[in-house]
Structure 1
């Protein structure tokens, strides 16, 4: 299954956990055990959800540090979870080039968010990526 589809499935899971106020990993376990009407979650979607859950605090801190307008808690639920996925890919997944993570996030935003979201997401993720590549120890890069 394409990684784009896996990202969307991961977004659905993160969105649901966020909306319900449910622990991400407990919801993931439910979705793995009982996928319901959907096909089972792709392996990469599971990897994304686990990665975001594991680094949730650091990811949100990075997003808050780089956001010039909205803090994570005030962002739209879909926007913040798209940002979390892409930030995890930029910072913690060396298999995905930053540009791909950013482009994929923008594509999700274009189809799922309001008209202002793609440019906001692009700017914020570009700042995260730039900090990541300056060697800033505060960026949270996994060694």
Structure 2
């Protein structure tokens, strides 16, 4: 089967995976197992799909680097997948001349995309081709689990408990003494000054509270004294009235 047809079949699969947000290799496996009404995928179409998936980070980086306007994520879905196929062929398939890869991409865009796409794709692929030897391979970072023995883990927990600073992530397990910051003399002085200010503020607050309590006590004592005087005056008045009453009856 001609490679032009294989490119078209590869584009169909890449476009569908991109539209659905599905993993490329997952959809490829479905298409290989269940081709449906279509003929089985050509070997070269499978090679393109696998190649684009494997090197997509590098391919998209190159497209973003040399695109004069749109970045990959903002391009039309069909356009960015046409571009991905062409960049893969130019960079990773020595059997396909760069000019052929560019011409095939332009041909696909004329058939499947809008009127402005062919010139955009032509210009971008030409720029990528001019700098293809400068494009560095972009590899996804591999996060390895730290190899921590049980003894190391227990020791780290013991150190964290004694210092009151318990590690909360795997990155803290391998801390070395030189990685632990110690307070400078300036930090100690600032701490002492802050402590002195807090003590002074606490002393002022205690003095104010004592003053308020004395004032309240004096006010309560005065109030009690006034009440006692009023009570004595009232008692004297009652006695005067009783004496007058007895005189009147006599």
CA pair 137-52 structure 1, distance change in 2 beyond 3 A = closer
Residues 64, 71 of structure 1: 8 Å contact kept: yes
Q: Deviations over 1:84-133 (max 9, x none)?
A: 0000000111110000000000000000000000000000000111101x
Q: Where do 5+ consecutive residues of structure 1 fail to align?
A: none
Number of corresponding residues:
138
Q: Hey, what does 1:78 align to over in structure 2?
A: 78
Aligned to 1:100: 100
**Which residue in 1 is equivalent to 2:29?**
29
The structure with the larger Rg is 2
Distance between the aligned counterparts of 1:116 and 1:85, measured in 2? Answer: 19
TM value normalised by structure 2: 0.54
Cα separation, 1, equivalents of 2:38 and 2:59: 28
The 5-angstrom pairing of residues 32-111 of structure 1 reads 32-111=32-111
Structure 1 runs (4+) greater than 2 angstroms displaced: 137-140
Query: CA–CA distance in 2 between the matches of 1:45 and 1:94?
Result: 16
The TM-score with structure 1 as length reference comes to: 0.94
- Alpha-carbon offset, residue 138 of structure 1: 2.7
For the aligned residue pairs, the C-alpha RMSD in angstroms reads 1.1
| Contact 2:62/2:135 (<8 A) preserved | no
SS in 2 for 1:138: coil
